[in-house]
Structure 1
Amino acid sequence: MKKEYLTISQFSALSGISRKNLIYYDKINLFSPKMVSEKGYRLYEENQLDTISVIWILRELGKSIKEIKIYLQERTPEKMLSLFQEEQEQIDKKIRTLKQYKDMLKKRIELTKQADLITIGKITFIQQEKESILISEKINQNYNEALVNFYSIIEQQDIVQGYPIGAIVGKNELSDGQFTNFSYFYINKFAEDKNLLSIKPEGTYAVMYDYCDYNKTEKLYRKMLDELAKNGYEVDGDAYEEYIIDEVAEKNPDQYLVKVMIKVKKMTIG
């Protein structure tokens, strides 16, 4: 039975690789037809579809022509296993990263939609379950250095940037009226290193929203503390400050929407 070959047009249609690329691969000795006819037509065998598909996948994964050529010239089952397992690990890493991008976008979408349902300047009380958060090192005097170090921690934990970063104001700072003297930065994100995780305690929290620029929240905090006293509550823990609308969505800093949560308890009488 006479062996049947595929023309370059047929091979291109079956493989999804353009004629132009097939000709180019042939010229650089990356992937050549099984034979060339007397009239100069490139002819391919069906089993070459497997090889061209792997070349295409490796190119899509970022491998250079040089790297692929070396592999094809030196390929063995052992080298194939090594290369494919390495690429599989890289794909898994990319999938994890893409899932985080999706999660980050979803988080910002939810926060922005939440802004339409918020009553500005009104204190509410909620019951909060305990929640794991990723925190920075203790902030001392150098605010900027602490922020840079926190971004470094985020990167080390393979967490993509873009998640809204909040700040914790300690109970003592609240009592002293030092509302912009942050104790920690945090994000609502799980981390592999358990030592970097802290717990936002369960309990009753007072919540209030307002429009204001970064580090201009003193008026909001004072209003909250006044409202707490009127409602028979006192501070029982730290404050958690985060922005629902920040510079990602709003040009005017005065229109940033901040949310403050303070752990509280009912005042004891007597």
Structure 2
Amino acid sequence: MFNKNIKYFTTGEFAKICKVNKQTLIYYDQIGLLSPVFKDDKGYRYYSIAQYDLFSVIELLKTLGMSLKDIQNYLAEQSPETFLALMRQQQEIVARKRKELELIESMIKVKIDSFELAANINFDKITIERYPETTFYLSSNIENATEEQFVTAVADFIDELDRSQLDTGYPIGGMTRREQVLASNYTNYSHLYMEQPSPREGHPYFKAIAGNCLVGYHIGTTETLSKTYERLFKIMEEQGYELGQYVYEEYIYDAIVKEREEEYVTKIMMEIENVSD
């Protein structure tokens, strides 16, 4: 019943307070989600300031992905107990989403750092660099895999990265055993890998490198990869090194930034040891 001592708001006024258009409030009224306190003889809707809190909760739940139908179901059985349970449930959802966003933010930072570093690299230069021990998450063994087995292994690897939240934003690389590289089977990878700067318990990891690497860059498709390896082996021999246990390849520039495969850039890291050792 109308109380002249209480300030009521028209649909337009209440919409302004809620920062929505009038049609939103009219729709909420039509579906029984948020009805005005009363309607006068002319059908004009009037709202009270007390209803703003309800509107805020509805918008909050919508933001969290709750459908209007589910919100209606809650309102049909609303009570202090059900509201508390609902808020606790939504709190868990927010915490999970926050963790997901933190992972995404970390991945974006890795991408930014990687591309900023790549912008200052001379891809024609071959260097010897000291690498610390690095943790990789590996795919299943794909050495000598058939095309079908390779496709399955890649799909399973990517699926596991996603399911276990192991996608760190670093490029997916391929590691090749010494024996295959010496036999010129440069792309007969033993495993795919992704770097894990903060490895979590409960997953099998591989500790890689921890030593000197001969680092070079291949521009182009895999068909011309042998030419880059020939250059690397020549430098290795001149510097008095021999090939170590593994070689690692990962894209620096791929389809993300280059339209043509001939422009792709692959980083090649070859574990090396002194011949005298």
TM-score (norm 2): 0.87
Q: Alpha carbons of 1:67 and 1:160: their partners in 2 closer, same or farther (altered >3 Å)? A: farther
Give the structure 2 partner of residue 202 of structure 1: 210
Asked if the contact 2:136/2:193 (under 8 Å) is kept, the reply is: yes
How far did 1:86 drift? 2.5
Give the structure 1 partner of residue 226 of structure 2: 218
How far did 1:98 drift? 3.0
Asked if the contact 2:174/2:191 (under 8 Å) is kept, the reply is: yes
Partner Cα separation in structure 1 for residue 162 and residue 178 of structure 2: 29
Give the structure 2 partner of residue 165 of structure 1: 172
Asked if the contact 1:166/1:240 (under 8 Å) is kept, the reply is: yes
Amino acid at match of 1:181: N
SS in structure 2 opposite 1:196?
coil
How far did 1:7 drift? 2.3
Q: Alpha carbons of 1:223 and 1:192: their partners in 2 closer, same or farther (altered >3 Å)? A: same
Give the structure 2 partner of residue 182 of structure 1: 189
* Aligned counterpart for 1:267 among listed residues 243, 268, 275: 275
State the percentage of identical aligned residues. 29
Two-structure CA RMSD over aligned residues (Å)? 2.3
Greater mean alpha carbon deviation, residues 185-194 or residues 251-260: 185-194
Q: For residues 73-122 of structure 1, what are the alpha-carbon distances to aligned partners after superposition, in whole Å with 9 as ceiling and x for unaligned?
A: 11223322332222222223333333333333333333333333222232
Q: For residues 48-79 of structure 1, what are the alpha-carbon distances to aligned partners after superposition, in whole Å with 9 as ceiling and x for unaligned?
A: 11110011111222222211101011122332
Q: For residues 146-186 of structure 1, what are the alpha-carbon distances to aligned partners after superposition, in whole Å with 9 as ceiling and x for unaligned?
A: 11111121122135697521111112222333211101101
Amino acid at match of 1:183: S
Q: For residues 22-44 of structure 1, what are the alpha-carbon distances to aligned partners after superposition, in whole Å with 9 as ceiling and x for unaligned?
A: 11111111111111233432111
Partner Cα separation in structure 1 for residue 211 and residue 200 of structure 2: 26
| 5+ long unaligned stretches in structure 2 | none
Amino acid at match of 1:170: R
Partner Cα separation in structure 2 for residue 227 and residue 192 of structure 1: 38
Report how many residues are paired.
Answer: 269
Asked if the contact 2:168/2:194 (under 8 Å) is kept, the reply is: no
Q: Alpha carbons of 1:223 and 1:84: their partners in 2 closer, same or farther (altered >3 Å)? A: same
Partner Cα separation in structure 2 for residue 162 and residue 16 of structure 1: 38
Give the structure 2 partner of residue 69 of structure 1: 72
Amino acid at match of 1:263: E
1:149 aligns with 2:152: no
Matched ranges for 1:21-100 at <5 A: 21-100=24-103
Q: Alpha carbons of 1:219 and 1:92: their partners in 2 closer, same or farther (altered >3 Å)? A: farther
| 5+ long unaligned stretches in structure 1 | none
Partner Cα separation in structure 1 for residue 9 and residue 91 of structure 2: 32
Give the structure 1 partner of residue 248 of structure 2: 240
Asked if the contact 1:7/1:43 (under 8 Å) is kept, the reply is: yes
Greater mean alpha carbon deviation, residues 93-102 or residues 24-33: 93-102
SS in structure 2 opposite 1:129?
strand
Q: For residues 230-260 of structure 1, what are the alpha-carbon distances to aligned partners after superposition, in whole Å with 9 as ceiling and x for unaligned?
A: 1011122311110100011111111101101
Asked if the contact 1:120/1:210 (under 8 Å) is kept, the reply is: yes
How far did 1:124 drift? 0.7
SS in structure 1 opposite 2:171?
coil
TM-score (norm 1): 0.89
Partner Cα separation in structure 2 for residue 79 and residue 171 of structure 1: 63
